[in-house]
């Protein structure tokens, strides 16, 4: 008798579990029609575009507006889009590099001359910030194994291609508001330091 009641109890419990699972599945799948309707409304209210490049042009336009400095040399165009102090006592510099040459570019001369930096490969490891007023030069930060806290490029930058980069440096004193960014054989680029968030 006990065995019979236990079997019925397990069967009832299994039935309740399956029914609950089905109800939750149906509830989770329902209601999706409103999201599609609102996204269709939003897209239909936007004016139609002639080509698919409008989004790219807008993002390129906004990136161009925030360029702090631009220098050219060795068939390269270097742009700095941000140079911000961070709470950790360092400065993060970000930007883009464009290959305007007629062949691929590898950032070998940007990695620096120090033996420790050779393991970084093509990178921004050889960059520095120069504080003209304080007469100090700040090198890219590194971890305990000599890896730079910067972009390490993978492969070559082909003709006409643009890629983003970043490098982190020790922060100059708070009184220093302007520094020169230098990397490889590129001319120095003067930038104003901003306070990070």
Span 76-87, pLDDT tens digits: 999 999 999 998
Nearest alpha carbon to residue 83 among 197, 196, 180, 193: 193
Nearest alpha carbon to residue 166 among 100, 108, 79: 79
Q: Alpha-carbon distance 100 to 160, whole Å? A: 5
50-59, 141-150, 177-186: range with lowest mean pLDDT: 50-59
| Residue 189: strand pairing partners | 181
Q: Alpha-carbon distance 63 to 60, whole Å? A: 5
Position 197 confidence tier, pLDDT thresholds 50, 70, 90: low
Question: Which residue has 């698919």 as its token pair?
Answer: 52
Model pLDDT, residue 8: 52
pTM (2 d.p.): 0.64
Contact partners, residue 50, CB within 8 Å, separation at least 6 = none
> What percentage of residues in the chain have a pLDDT greater than 90?
40
Q: Alpha-carbon distance 181 to 193, whole Å? A: 11
């Amino acid at each position: 008798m006990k065995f019979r009641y236990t079997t019925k109890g397990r069967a009832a419990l299994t039935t309740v579990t399956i029914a609950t699972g089905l109800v939750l599945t149906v509830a989770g799948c329902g209601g999706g029609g409103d999201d599609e309707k609102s996204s269709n409304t939003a897209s239909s209210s936007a004016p139609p575009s002639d080509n698919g490049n409008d989004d790219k042009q807008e993002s390129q336009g906004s990136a161009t507006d925030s360029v702090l400095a631009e220098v050219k040399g060795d068939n390269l165009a270097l742009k700095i889009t941000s140079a911000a102090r961070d709470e950790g006592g360092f400065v993060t510099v970000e930007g883009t590099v464009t290959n305007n040459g007629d062949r691929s570019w590898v950032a070998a001369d940007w990695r620096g001359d120090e033996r420790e930096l050779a393991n970084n490969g093509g990178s921004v490891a050889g960059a520095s910030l120069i504080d003209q007023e304080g007469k100090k030069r700040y090198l890219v930060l590194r971890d305990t194994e000599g890896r730079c806290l910067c972009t390490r490029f993978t492969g070559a930058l082909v003709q006409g291609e643009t890629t983003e980069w970043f490098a982190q440096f020790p922060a100059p004193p708070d009184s220093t508001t302007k520094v020169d960014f230098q990397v490889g054989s590129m001319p120095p680029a003067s930038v104003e330091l901003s306070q990070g968030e």
